[in-house]
Structure 1
Amino acid sequence: MHRIFAAIVAAGACASSLQAQTRPPVLAEPVLTLAEALGRAGASSPFQDVASAGVRAAEAQRRVAALRPNPSIVAETENVAGSGIYRGLRSSETTLGLALPLERGGKRQARMALADAQIGRAGIAAAIARADLRLRVTQAYVVGVAAQRRAAVARDQVGIAAEVLRAAKVRVQAGRASPLEEQRADVARLAAEGALERADRSAAVAATNLARLIGMPVGALDNSWFQQVDALGPLHTSGSTGTLIAAAARADLDTATAQVRLARSQRVPDLTLSASARRLEQTNDTAAVFGVSIPLTVFNGGRSAVAVADAQRDQSDALQRVALLDAEQDIATTQAEAANAATTARNATGPALAAAAEAARIARIGYREGKFGQLDLLDAERTLLDTRTAAIDALAAYHDARARLERLTAEAPIAKDTDR
């Protein structure tokens, strides 16, 4: 019986080999790499449009801040519509002139300094948007390739379960096993098919989510990249002073400091100079009129506004220290998570996976030859499935932690000195 079964298996293998040789070659599906996905997302993502619009708005605000106050035309008529000699327009005095506000206390320079600080903050926000988009696309890519790997494992399990069912039927027909083994193998096959259906659905959702981010359909993903576990460098001990997080906190502090300067400049009252020409109706003469207007800071001297700006600057300073502390803690924690995930991934994809695969292979052969029971085979297959799943989970955790670490340690762009 053993010889007959071996001959059947060998004949099936030969037939499959001949069929594979005569079948026309199938073109491999193009693989979408992570670099290509990041490039596509950077070119078409609406998140980039939001960041660039913020920069343009800040630059437009700077142009507004540099503008001077508009002059005013002053026109008035006196001594009209009265009684006696002032009846009608006989004694009217018409004045027509121009009033020009003069800003004092450096208000214009303070507005421009605040606008410059806001432009710097908008540039940091744009860099943060790019880094966040990179993290988002990378995480979606990791989820997608992990889902495809899980679907492939589930598909392999369906084939293995079908093979186990065929072997169980042969054993039952030969009278070497109880019909219970065939029923148990059929249950395992149904469970494997259900797992495959769920895995395919998850892979389709992951691919759709990635396609939304990059603006193109997603097919096969780079499995070789997913398998790589690079050695991490030394722990990030230089602090977070050069990262985007620190740059954003500094930009917020610079903006708050500029707000203090602007509030202090508002305490200095402005002048309004006016020059007019007055026409006297009775004598038909013209005279010049000059004036100066100075507001009296009696009820609102601007001290409260300065106090508010000072408090907000102190708050920004404290928030900067908090942001740096949180960033350093997050960097250390994420780097440890990446290192631990790398260790787990190496173990799961290395000797542990090879041992589980070899044990399952031996159990299949032994079960077909009657040397092992079905429970031994199912246990070996379950161990292989758990090991392969753990390897995928470990690789996904490693790449996710690596992406988050790159986001936390992303360097801030160098500020450009430009003449505005």
Structure 2
Amino acid sequence: MHRIIAAFLAAASCASLAQAQTAPIASPVAQLTLERALELAGAVAPSIEAASASVRAAEAARTVAGYRPNPTIVAETENVVGSGQYRGLRSAETTAGLELPIELGGKRSARVAVADAVSDRARIGAALATADLRLAITQAYIEAVAAERRVVTAREQAEIAREALRAATVRVRAGRASPIEQQRADVLRINAEATEERAERLTIVARDNLARRIGQPVSGPLDLAWFDRVEGYGPALRVAPAGTLALAAAQADVATATAQVRLARAQRVPDVTVSASARRLEETNDVAAVFGVSVPFPVFNRGGAAVTQANAERDQAEALRRAAELDTAQALANAEAEVANAATTARAASGPALAAAQEAARIARIGYREGKFGQLDLLDAERTLSETRTAAIDALAAYRDAQAHRNRLATAAPDLSRN
């Protein structure tokens, strides 16, 4: 009998092993890092699509600016449908030819210069859109990671509260504590579980917001190690305003305004239109050539006001550039200080302060179970630990957010050189 049972168990074990070997192994869901989120968002962001369309439009406008004026086909008939010898078409004179405008004063090259400046500004605008998207995605990612961290903390605090309630219940039943301790512990448990529920709900919202940004569900874990890491010690290297996107945009506006001044000056030079035609005389059936030249007579609009307007707009753009340089330098200095201060706060909150609060809570729990500490001491230690954990998460989120803002301000301008 024992041999039969042993044989049966061996067969069952072999069957289970074979089934386990043939069953497919579920692959773990890949971690969604910040860089991956940025990559996914760049492929679906409407702002990037709009900026790309703006660049294409500017490039098409550059092509149009280089075209020369189109010739005009001219055809006219004179001395028809009159009276006397001009009755009917017998005295008609038909002229057909071409008129060709000739631009003078460098108008075409001035138009091209304006189009080049506008194209450069569009490319800087595309880089600005990319930098703004990177900031928005980073902030959404920070919010999602911080929400996950808050859920973990809330769950741990809820479990601690339930354990405290169990300990209080034991003490009350043993007659070593007043029933009020059990009620206090129950209130602490209820509040901790409500906090856990709120944190879970906010986590779902934060992950959904991030999913909308990247265009796909956020099903995998987030990079919590990146969130907890505080980078660098000591003063950071200062970033000069020159070469940043903010200043590059202002400089591109100055270049556009300067090109507009050149175009306004070129527009003051009148263009010449030359024409060449063939005239046919109906009465004699003879053909004669007709040549003509036309030049505008600038009596009312001589273009001086347009030049004045363009100069004023250039002066405005130059003043705004200087203001942007001052604002960018100030913003960078403030951002660097905010990053340094946030890093200091994050290190303290997530390091020594958190360790001290955890140790105090641990001692208070042991002492409460052994009857050495009162419940108020335990509640105070647990409240301090909960507040310190929350402060650490907030400090890390503030540090990452300050980093994102600093990086946005320090984003380098794109290379606008043309091949």
* 1:337-376 correspondence runs (5 A): 337-376=338-377
Give the gaps of 5 or more residues in structure 1.
1-24
In structure 2, what is the equivalent of residue 80 of structure 1? 80
* Contact 1:95–1:278 under 8 Å retained in 2: yes
The alpha-carbon deviation at position 326 of structure 1 amounts to 0.5
Task: List, as ranges, runs of 4+ consecutive aligned residues in structure 1 with deviation greater than 4 Å.
Answer: 25-29, 235-238
Distance verdict in 2 for CA 1:371–1:232, change over 3 Å: closer
TM-score by length of 2: 0.91
After superposition, give the CA deviation of every residue in 1:2-46 in whole Å (9 maximum; x if it has no partner): xxxxxxxxxxxxxxxxxxxxxxx9986532111211121223322
The alpha-carbon deviation at position 344 of structure 1 amounts to 0.7
- 2:308 equivalent to 1:307: yes
Question: Match of 2:216, SS?
Answer: coil
- CA RMSD in angstroms comes to 1.5
* 1:62-101 correspondence runs (5 A): 62-101=62-101
In structure 1, what is the equivalent of residue 134 of structure 2? 134
Q: Distance in 2 between matches of 1:101 and 1:297?
A: 17
* 1:119-158 correspondence runs (5 A): 119-158=119-158
Question: Match of 1:31, SS?
Answer: coil
* Contact 1:235–1:332 under 8 Å retained in 2: no
* Contact 1:236–1:332 under 8 Å retained in 2: no
* Contact 2:239–2:410 under 8 Å retained in 1: no
The alpha-carbon deviation at position 384 of structure 1 amounts to 0.2
- 2:410 equivalent to 1:409: yes
After superposition, give the CA deviation of every residue in 1:115-159 in whole Å (9 maximum; x if it has no partner): 111111111111111111111111111111001101111111111
Moved more, 157-166 or 35-44: 35-44
Q: Distance in 2 between matches of 1:83 and 1:95?
A: 21
TM-score by length of 1: 0.91
In structure 2, what is the equivalent of residue 322 of structure 1? 323
Distance verdict in 2 for CA 1:296–1:71, change over 3 Å: same
In structure 1, what is the equivalent of residue 6 of structure 2? none
Question: Match of 1:220, SS?
Answer: coil
In structure 1, what is the equivalent of residue 38 of structure 2? 38
In structure 1, what is the equivalent of residue 214 of structure 2? 214
Question: Match of 2:98, SS?
Answer: strand
Q: Distance in 2 between matches of 1:232 and 1:238?
A: 17
In structure 2, what is the equivalent of residue 103 of structure 1? 103
In structure 2, what is the equivalent of residue 11 of structure 1? none
Q: Distance in 1 between matches of 2:399 and 2:239?
A: 23
- 2:284 equivalent to 1:297: no
What letter matches 1:152 in structure 2?
V
- 2:394 equivalent to 1:387: no
The alpha-carbon deviation at position 101 of structure 1 amounts to 0.8
Kindly tell me the number of residue pairs found equivalent between the two proteins: 394
Distance verdict in 2 for CA 1:325–1:390, change over 3 Å: same
* Contact 2:235–2:340 under 8 Å retained in 1: no
* Contact 1:236–1:331 under 8 Å retained in 2: no
Q: Distance in 2 between matches of 1:86 and 1:291?
A: 25
- 2:118 equivalent to 1:118: yes
Question: Match of 1:208, SS?
Answer: helix
Moved more, 340-349 or 196-205: 196-205
Q: Distance in 1 between matches of 2:289 and 2:340?
A: 83
Query: Percent same amino acid among aligned pairs?
Result: 65
After superposition, give the CA deviation of every residue in 1:145-182 in whole Å (9 maximum; x if it has no partner): 00110111111111111111111111111111111111
Q: Distance in 2 between matches of 1:238 and 1:377?
A: 49
Q: Distance in 1 between matches of 2:81 and 2:235?
A: 90
* 1:179-258 correspondence runs (5 A): 179-218=179-218, 219-231=220-232, 234-237=235-238, 239-258=240-259
Distance verdict in 2 for CA 1:370–1:233, change over 3 Å: closer
In structure 2, what is the equivalent of residue 285 of structure 1? 286
